[in-house]
Chain A
């Protein structure tokens, strides 16, 4: 394989030396051997051996790929991708209007970003999704587990208990209405304790911990292969205060974004991030825009912006590869994230028995 030396994943100083010494392709490197290499460039034999190891791995990787092993390279035709996508489930949010504009719910293998002013309901939706991802498949869920990375400290367990109890009740009502065996069997394992025990919670206090956590996540996920949702609540918070070097911030954020995309793709899970809003002052007016700058806008595949309209909460789908832009209203009740008018098809007990209590428009006291 004629891999150019400039494109090999070696340390930059080493690479510069190799190019200066006149090596052009990986083949030449392998032919020279470690002793010759250490003499030509002036590095120790161990370093030369290590470098050759990396080169050999790359070349073998290439060889297996051309021989037909496509599992390592994520290569496929659009038809296969279509079949995969159609077989994949969505994580429902219990707000059918939001599910509709998202095309069925939060998609797996994609990064979804939720931006909004304080108090509008971002953490509520994250907690709702952490519960909803565990709904068994016979009820229309993906039966997965959730990883919750918290940087702001806004995760309240008692609220999750409320949401989970409501979700279990909802499923019980469906099971009673349809009386199928699978449903009843699944309900045995779908209880409050099991829901709470399948949410893996991490608390990161600054950006270094957050980066470390995300880079260590693949190992965690390979042990817990049932995880289908990774929530990072508050990706803006550690990066906004106390960061002088803006170009470093951009680089770190982009690296983080690529790492999250790799996690989403390899482990077939959805990644949900929450972001803050900042003001952009234009010539004549100022607008609220998502924080972390223009380049961060490209990291997420799907972007939802939550905002207020007088006292009604609205969700706008701003960026999506397959759905149109649209805005819908939603409510946050004691049961969690819900529609404004509950659809007529749901269980009666939920409609009449409960008063949807609007969350007051101030800092949420949970």
Chain B
């Protein structure tokens, strides 16, 4: 919905804009979708000039179609699959986290979402030697636990410290801070600031629901609008810069059936391409266990409903 302004394209002068505005045409969409002969008559502008302007605007603002073969070639060369650090989880996700997609982890409190996120960060940083961006909105990021995980994977102290340095943690506690952190990331990536550590391939956000929940519900639809803004930002980041985006989500109890369902509602359920539900094996808190069961709730590649056991020790 771009407003028509002088200089948007050659041939679009200030007087033209004033005349168009007088007949109710303010944005590019209005211009392109209206009948040019009609406008030429109403505003006494030359038909040829209007057609030329329309051609330039269409070229500038519309999306170009591409064919499937080109798309496939492009995806083959740009997609990477990142290991999560847990072989059973990799199996569940069809060998790992795919870049260009949003993957969601959901679970009840204490089910291990933060642990899996830390595991992913550790494995990408140590195994692939690539930087990781971790957006923490719950205060649950514990560097000492991450250090413990790194120590379990390698003995070399130098490597551990380097791996820790590659993980950048940003603490964002409300939705606007999160949006501005993502904006900053986008600016950094589009200016192609190459850090010495290699290209950024993965962004972990723990958790998305903590910042959106205070806004959802009630009579205003502001919460929904902001949530969709965030969704669009995440998906375009993932696609444009070939990033793997991992988000965590809460679960709420369905009031009618009493079963657990993911939070943030139906609108959010279209955002991630893959959804994994984490549960502990025992349903109550009276028995302690380190085993968690991960089941695939939504996937574009694997059949849903398959379950694996994940060890978060």
Tell yes or no: B241 within 8 A of A by CB. no
Q: A254-B214, A294-B108 are in contact. Are A77 and B139 (CB under 8 A)?
A: no
Q: A24-B2, A251-B218 are in contact. Are A294 and B165 (CB under 8 A)?
A: no
Please choose the segment from A126-134, A154-162, A320-328, A341-349 that sits at the chain B interface, where 4 or more of its residues have CB less than 8 A away: A320-328
Tell yes or no: B269 within 8 A of A by CB. no
Closest B residue to A24 by beta carbon equals: B2
Residue of B118, B210, B220, B251 near A257 (CB, 8 A) is B210
> Which A323-353 residues have C-beta < 8 A from chain B?
324-327
Closest B residue to A23 by beta carbon equals: B3
A232 to B136 alpha-carbon distance, docked (Å): 24
Is the pair A293, B253 in contact by a Cβ cutoff of 8 Å? yes
Residue of B121, B148, B211 near A258 (CB, 8 A) is B211
> Which B156-189 residues have C-beta < 8 A from chain A?
161, 164-174, 176-177, 179-181, 183-184, 187-188
Tell yes or no: A86 within 8 A of B by CB. yes
> Which A246-273 residues have C-beta < 8 A from chain B?
247-248, 250-251, 254-255, 257-258, 261-262, 264-265
A121 to B134 alpha-carbon distance, docked (Å): 37
A8 to B180 alpha-carbon distance, docked (Å): 9
Is the pair A86, B225 in contact by a Cβ cutoff of 8 Å? no
Is the pair B183, A81 in contact by a Cβ cutoff of 8 Å? no
* Minimum Cβ distance to chain B for residue A62 (Å): 6
Please choose the segment from B35-43, B47-55, B281-289 that sits at the chain A interface, where 4 or more of its residues have CB less than 8 A away: B281-289
Is the pair A294, B250 in contact by a Cβ cutoff of 8 Å? yes
Interface SS of B by simple majority: mixed
Residues of A within 8 A of B226 (CB): 6-7
> Which A89-147 residues have C-beta < 8 A from chain B?
109-111
Is the pair B27, A22 in contact by a Cβ cutoff of 8 Å? yes
A12 to B227 alpha-carbon distance, docked (Å): 13
Is the pair A58, B140 in contact by a Cβ cutoff of 8 Å? no
A108 to B267 alpha-carbon distance, docked (Å): 37
Residues of B within 8 A of A109 (CB): 139
Closest B residue to A59 by beta carbon equals: B180
A319 to B147 alpha-carbon distance, docked (Å): 19
Is the pair A82, B147 in contact by a Cβ cutoff of 8 Å? yes
Is the pair B217, A251 in contact by a Cβ cutoff of 8 Å? yes
Number of interface residues of A (CB under 8 A): 69
Is the pair B250, A298 in contact by a Cβ cutoff of 8 Å? yes
Tell yes or no: B110 within 8 A of A by CB. yes
Is the pair A298, B210 in contact by a Cβ cutoff of 8 Å? yes
* Minimum Cβ distance to chain B for residue A202 (Å): 23
Is the pair B1, A78 in contact by a Cβ cutoff of 8 Å? no
Is the pair B225, A6 in contact by a Cβ cutoff of 8 Å? yes
* Minimum Cβ distance to chain B for residue A75 (Å): 5
Interface string of B219-250 (1 = CB under 8 A from A): 01010011001000100000000000000001
A300 to B173 alpha-carbon distance, docked (Å): 14
> Which A229-250 residues have C-beta < 8 A from chain B?
247-248, 250
> Which A54-95 residues have C-beta < 8 A from chain B?
58, 61-62, 65-66, 73-79, 81-82, 84-86
Is the pair A77, B167 in contact by a Cβ cutoff of 8 Å? yes
Is the pair B169, A75 in contact by a Cβ cutoff of 8 Å? yes
Residues of B within 8 A of A3 (CB): 180, 183
A302 to B313 alpha-carbon distance, docked (Å): 17
Instruction: Find the residue from B164, B184, B260, B285 having the highest chain A CB count within 10 A.
Output: B285
Is the pair B169, A66 in contact by a Cβ cutoff of 8 Å? no
Residue of A76, A84, A248, A287 near B168 (CB, 8 A) is A76
A254 to B173 alpha-carbon distance, docked (Å): 11
Tell yes or no: A216 within 8 A of B by CB. no
Closest A residue to B163 by beta carbon equals: A78
Residues of B within 8 A of A247 (CB): 217-218
Closest B residue to A257 by beta carbon equals: B210
Tell yes or no: B263 within 8 A of A by CB. yes
Tell yes or no: B252 within 8 A of A by CB. yes
A209 to B253 alpha-carbon distance, docked (Å): 29
Residues of B within 8 A of A111 (CB): 139
Is the pair B139, A319 in contact by a Cβ cutoff of 8 Å? no
Residue of A9, A79, A297, A326 near B164 (CB, 8 A) is A79
Tell yes or no: B146 within 8 A of A by CB. yes
Closest B residue to A246 by beta carbon equals: B255
Tell yes or no: A43 within 8 A of B by CB. no
A168 to B298 alpha-carbon distance, docked (Å): 58
Is the pair B168, A301 in contact by a Cβ cutoff of 8 Å? no
Is the pair A61, B180 in contact by a Cβ cutoff of 8 Å? yes
* Minimum Cβ distance to chain B for residue A254 (Å): 4
Is the pair B145, A295 in contact by a Cβ cutoff of 8 Å? no
Residues of B within 8 A of A82 (CB): 143-144, 146-147, 164
* Minimum Cβ distance to chain B for residue A24 (Å): 7
> Which A177-213 residues have C-beta < 8 A from chain B?
none
Residues of A within 8 A of B134 (CB): 78
Tell yes or no: B79 within 8 A of A by CB. no
Residue of B147, B170, B289 near A75 (CB, 8 A) is B170
Is the pair B288, A1 in contact by a Cβ cutoff of 8 Å? no
Instruction: Give me 4 other A-B pairs in contact (C-beta within 8 A), A251-B218, A258-B173, A294-B250 excluded.
Output: A79-B161, A293-B252, A301-B138, A321-B140
6 A-B pairs in the complex with CB atoms less than 8 angstroms apart = A1-B183, A22-B3, A22-B27, A61-B180, A84-B143, A295-B252
- Closest 6 pairs (CB-CB, A-B): A297-B109, A22-B3, A325-B288, A319-B110, A82-B143, A74-B171
Chain A residues engaging chain B, CB cutoff 8 angstroms: 1-4, 6-9, 12, 16, 19-24, 58, 61-62, 65-66, 73-79, 81-82, 84-86, 109-111, 247-248, 250-251, 254-255, 257-258, 261-262, 264-265, 287, 289, 293-295, 297-301, 303, 305, 316, 318-319, 321-322, 324-327
Chain B residues engaging chain A, CB cutoff 8 angstroms: 1-3, 26-27, 108-110, 114-115, 118, 121, 134, 137-148, 161, 164-174, 176-177, 179-181, 183-184, 187-188, 207, 209-211, 213-218, 220, 222, 225-226, 229, 233, 250-253, 260, 263, 284-286, 288-290, 313
